[in-house]
Structure 1
Amino acid sequence: MTADNDIAVSASDARKIAISAFVGTALEWYDYFLFGTAAAIVFNRLYFTTLDPTAALLASFATFGVGFVSRPIGALIFGAIGDRIGRRPALIATIVMIGVSTGLIGVLPDYVSIGIAAPIILAVLRLLQGFAVGGEWGGATTMAVEHSPIEKRGRYAAMVQLGSPIGTILSSGAIALVLMLPAEAFDAWGWRIPFLVAFPLLLVALWMRRQMEESPVFLELEKRDEEKPRMPALAIFRQAPGRVLAGMAASMLGVGGFYVVTTLVISYATTTVGVPREQVVNATLIAAVGQFFALLICGRLVERFGAGKMTIVGSVVTALAAFPVFALVNTGDPVLITLAICLGTMSIDIVYAGTGTLLSEMFRPELRYTGVSVSFQFAGAVGGFMPMIATALLAASGQQYWVAAALLVAICAITAVGGVFGTRLRIVDRVVAAEQHEASATTAVQS
């Protein structure tokens, strides 16, 4: 093969890049899930102490939600960096911002110590965290997909999604350990330890990110000296607004729906049903283990049936599971609650495993980082407020669990529509496809 054909990708290279992307994404989700859990059981008591319990919980979830508001901004800015300068430098910057902002939460004084400055600083750190996450997932997915053979993109894109259950396992495990402390010790300093762990995790993730090679698709675009949009964000909204809307719809269940069956369930089970915090956190830990294997299996199914079809199937399955999930949580039985969270999260995984593949194949390479990031993060800007919306609906209905289940069904319907349109809008990389065809032809001639 000549020097002009160095874009060919191998399974070993794809696996290495996917693992590097996964490690960074695991840190991303560790930080985000950690904040979500703390919002449900810590921040409402330590940073919003002047409010009644329901208002404090709403304010805590609002702080959780503001991180999702800043994610689209991060998607626009880091998307521009990734599409114009390179995928790799954007991903190094995002992982540093995520780790630092999370670690600083671990040293933030509470309301009793510094007053109103405490929740304000907490919200600012959450905004910075969300800003960086806005460019993290889209970049990691883009790198994994562009380093993969086309026919194996499903499995390697799903490897990036493994960061979600691993992040959950790490964060839930860390919270479960510190919850073993006496209540006074937990409130005084114990809850801070999982946030401080973000610093050493950042060092590991940063080292692996620096070992990543730039995307071969991006390098090929550079080599061919193809003109890049000066403002990728503007170009994406001018040239492909329908693709962005379809991508947002397809992403809603994996973001908003997931937080309904995790963050909201933690809050509902502990505050309304009266289940001990430790039992609910342990349930999410068990569910995350199931997610790990579900994503691996569903990644292969994406390759066989297509990301769009899996998105539709997963939406239907999750909708059918919605009411049983909340009915099981409402029993207050720890075993049934664990079963409920497993059922809810693993149903969503049918969709989530293919989200990266579906979105990446909806946008041309020169706009891919921006398109994938904007679609996913704009959905996240809405989905991040789902726990707060559900909490408000539950309060208005007298804590009737069916209200939360109905909200989850509505999210499923939106995602199913996104899967339908995503299938119709699929684009195959001409650069990679042509190269792989030429590589196959060369191999055939040599043999």
Structure 2
Amino acid sequence: MTTTAQATDEHERNRKHAQRGAFYGFYVDMFDIYLPIIALAPAIGYFISPDLDASTTAVITGMIFAATLVGRPLGALIFGRYADMHGRKNATVIAVAGFGILTIVVGLLPGYQTWGIGSVVAFVLLRFVIGIFVGGEYTAASPLAMEYSPKEKRGLNGGLIMTGFPLAYVSVAVITFVMLQIAPAGDIDSPYVQWGWRIPFFIGGAMALAFVAYYLKSVRESELFEGSGGGGTPVKDLFTGENRKSFIQVFVLMTGFWLSLNCVTAILPGLLRTESNLTPTQTSVTLIVAYLVVAVMYVVCAVVSQRTGRRPFLMVWGGIAGIGGTALYALYLATKPQNLFVVIIMVTLIAVLVVSVWGLTTVYINERFRTGVRATGFGLGYSLAVVIPSFYAFYQSGLSSFMPFEWTVLPLLVIGCAFITVGAAMGPETKDVDFAAADKEPALEH
């Protein structure tokens, strides 16, 4: 008969594997998300006509980035429902295997010289389907890890999972940096443009498939989910009563998270090249330094929120990012520093002020939903909010009628940070929520 000590040891092993699995899964997820932004940037001419102006090129690049993000809510819906009805583990495996295989396919695509406009169309469509699978990964793996985590450690564990985000960003930047040394970028016939950009995509696909093997072997289904029995109607239940209120609040909060994030991760790298005249190599070095610091700050913010509470921390940080982050961003645009050291310091500070609060996302959103709808609520709350911010390039194009194009990022950042503060204010405190006890409480209908 299994003793209490053996059962405790087994639970602890399961918890560690679930935690590692969520981190690795989120890491390969975010690695895939930012491949087009970092690795493809020096080779974007491979897929688009060389006759396009800078503004049109920026819009097309934005479409490539947005395609994956727009696919994510559909993936969250499909895989969230599956995870809440049939389990978190299998949903994670299917999702990661899907985007791993398709990422390798993207690395094999021919370019504009061969397929014309069809090359970028194929790229965008593939990235959309990849987005569906990507949306399924964190929708299942993160709730599984949080359900294994004791409430007093959820902040730390959630923050560690979220470090997969900046560390993946750093990894893509490092690989891009190395590839640019091996295969320099230049005109359409340069080595990086012809084949160098493909290597990071192949690496991303291989890591995803390696993750699938680990997850199948080592991670056990959530004990909390097994205890609840699954089944039910998670999508319908999510938009009923208290669940609906929670979803609306999370949607507002995450809209602010995504909009402010895009101002840094999607827009700022391009400004480094146009405003500070950084080479692709210098841009990679700058991003590597900034996001290594951000990775540490993710954990710091999540742990601090375990003491202060999630709600006040999010409300205050939205103001800090909106005022301090925007002011520093404006200073960068006004001064256009050319010294690499100064650029690295400024970009790191901007990233810390604006992006560090993401360390709370996994833990906070999971705390807002019960077990029967947690995967669906987390996945859709996290992903559906990305749609509006994903079209940041079009908002910039509209704002450019009133201000210089490079300054259009500032109002978007202010709006995003305001949504963070308002969204946090709309919700309750969650750090002491007991998942098992909450599941036994009667649901309120409105």
Please say whether Structure 1 and Structure 2 have the same fold, judged by a TM-score greater than 0.5: yes
Compute the displacement of 1:42 (Å).
Answer: 2.8
Aligned equivalent of 1:356: 362
Query: 1-side partners of 2:393 and 2:261: how far apart?
Result: 10
Counterpart of 1:322, as a letter, is T
- Contact preservation (8 Å) 1:15, 1:156: no
Compute the displacement of 1:75 (Å).
Answer: 0.8
Secondary structure of the corresponding residue to residue 239 of structure 2: helix
Compute the displacement of 1:421 (Å).
Answer: 2.0
Query: 1-side partners of 2:249 and 2:70: how far apart?
Result: 19
Query: 2-side partners of 1:271 and 1:127: how far apart?
Result: 28
- Contact preservation (8 Å) 1:260, 1:387: no
Question: Is 1:384 matched up with 2:390?
Answer: yes
2:331 aligned to 327, 330, 349, which one?
327
Counterpart of 1:199, as a letter, is G
C-alpha RMSD of matched pairs (Å) = 2.7
- Contact preservation (8 Å) 1:39, 1:64: no
Secondary structure of the corresponding residue to residue 179 of structure 1: helix
Question: Is 1:216 matched up with 2:258?
Answer: no
- Contact preservation (8 Å) 1:165, 1:291: yes
Secondary structure of the corresponding residue to residue 55 of structure 1: helix
Change (3 A) 1:234 1:366: same
Question: Is 1:417 matched up with 2:418?
Answer: no
Aligned equivalent of 2:443: none
- Contact preservation (8 Å) 1:260, 1:408: yes
Query: 1-side partners of 2:172 and 2:437: how far apart?
Result: 38
Counterpart of 2:225, as a letter, is F
Compute the displacement of 1:397 (Å).
Answer: 2.1
Query: 2-side partners of 1:22 and 1:88: how far apart?
Result: 14
Equivalent positions of 1:18-417 (< 5 A) are 18-38=19-39, 40-43=41-44, 46-180=47-181, 181-182=183-184, 183=186, 184-210=190-216, 211-222=218-229, 228-230=231-233, 232-239=234-241, 240-319=243-322, 320-328=324-332, 330-390=336-396, 393-394=399-400, 397-401=403-407, 403-417=408-422
Change (3 A) 1:275 1:28: same
Change (3 A) 1:75 1:419: same
Secondary structure of the corresponding residue to residue 405 of structure 2: coil
Mean Cα deviation higher: 167-176 or 265-274: 265-274
Compute the displacement of 1:396 (Å).
Answer: 5.6
Mean Cα deviation higher: 190-199 or 382-391: 382-391
Mean Cα deviation higher: 131-140 or 266-275: 266-275
Compute the displacement of 1:144 (Å).
Answer: 1.4
Change (3 A) 1:428 1:48: farther
- Contact preservation (8 Å) 1:314, 1:349: no
Change (3 A) 1:339 1:394: farther
Counterpart of 1:409, as a letter, is V
Compute the displacement of 1:13 (Å).
Answer: 4.0
Query: 2-side partners of 1:434 and 1:76: how far apart?
Result: 22
- Contact preservation (8 Å) 2:325, 2:354: no
Aligned equivalent of 1:439: none
Mean Cα deviation higher: 348-357 or 364-373: 348-357
Counterpart of 1:257, as a letter, is S
- Contact preservation (8 Å) 1:328, 1:336: no
- Contact preservation (8 Å) 2:43, 2:192: no
Compute the displacement of 1:349 (Å).
Answer: 4.2
Counterpart of 1:335, as a letter, is F
Aligned equivalent of 2:444: none
Secondary structure of the corresponding residue to residue 108 of structure 2: coil
Query: 1-side partners of 2:224 and 2:9: how far apart?
Result: 9
Counterpart of 2:412, as a letter, is L
Query: 1-side partners of 2:41 and 2:385: how far apart?
Result: 22
Mean Cα deviation higher: 116-125 or 273-282: 273-282
Counterpart of 2:366, as a letter, is S
- Contact preservation (8 Å) 2:45, 2:193: no
Query: 2-side partners of 1:237 and 1:213: how far apart?
Result: 29
Structure 2 stretches of 5 or more lacking a match? 441-446
Tell me the TM-score normalised to structure 2 length: 0.88
Query: 2-side partners of 1:9 and 1:349: how far apart?
Result: 36
Secondary structure of the corresponding residue to residue 427 of structure 2: helix
Query: 1-side partners of 2:341 and 2:332: how far apart?
Result: 9
Secondary structure of the corresponding residue to residue 177 of structure 1: helix
Counterpart of 2:340, as a letter, is P
Change (3 A) 1:77 1:40: same
Change (3 A) 1:8 1:370: farther
Query: 1-side partners of 2:406 and 2:175: how far apart?
Result: 31
Compute the displacement of 1:359 (Å).
Answer: 0.8
> How many percent identity over aligned positions?
23
Change (3 A) 1:407 1:83: same
Compute the displacement of 1:253 (Å).
Answer: 4.1
- Contact preservation (8 Å) 1:74, 1:133: yes
Structure 1 stretches of 5 or more lacking a match? 436-447
Mean Cα deviation higher: 348-357 or 107-116: 348-357
How many residues are matched?
A: 428
Change (3 A) 1:45 1:23: same
Query: 1-side partners of 2:370 and 2:10: how far apart?
Result: 18
Query: 1-side partners of 2:381 and 2:373: how far apart?
Result: 12
Compute the displacement of 1:168 (Å).
Answer: 0.7
Counterpart of 1:303, as a letter, is Q
The CA deviation string for residues 312-347 of structure 1, in whole angstroms up to 9 with x for no partner, is 222122112222134225323322322232122222
Change (3 A) 1:433 1:398: closer
Query: 2-side partners of 1:236 and 1:433: how far apart?
Result: 15
Counterpart of 1:46, as a letter, is F
Change (3 A) 1:39 1:203: closer
Query: 1-side partners of 2:343 and 2:399: how far apart?
Result: 21
Secondary structure of the corresponding residue to residue 220 of structure 2: coil
Tell me the TM-score normalised to structure 1 length: 0.88
Query: 2-side partners of 1:220 and 1:2: how far apart?
Result: 20
Mean Cα deviation higher: 195-204 or 283-292: 195-204
